[in-house]
Copies of this chain bind each other. A is one copy, B any other.
Amino acid sequence: MTADQAAQVVPLLKALADPVRLRLMSMVLSHENAEACVCDLQPAFDLSQPTISHHLKVLHESGLLNREKRGVWVYYQARPEAMEAMATLFTTAGLSLPEGAQPVGAGA
């Protein structure tokens, strides 16, 4: 993995490396059509509305969530490409164990 490749993935990891944002992503993904409006998400947290809005903005700007305004409500939707990029990173791509490797505790 080159420095450039790392620099591309790090923003996604940074966005997910927060308990609130991780739960927000999980909640969006488990909602109908992998989307949810802020009014669905906020009540699950003991945080102010601006704070939730801030975290959703971080997830949006990192490319993990799409935004769509419908009337008064704003719906956030999971971006499949981003989720696949994460899954690929830890399976086929740069961050998976080589098959033959036998590190400590690998217990053949």
Contacts and interface: CB of A to CB of B under 8 A. Distances in A.
A42 interface: no
Interface string A70-97: 0000000111110100110111001111
Given A91-B91, A98-B30, A10 B1 contact: no
Given A1-B26, A33-B103, A87 B96 contact: yes
B86 A29 contact: no
A50 interface: no
B10 A18 contact: yes
Nearest to A44: B3
A98 B27 CA distance: 12
A29 B97 CA distance: 6
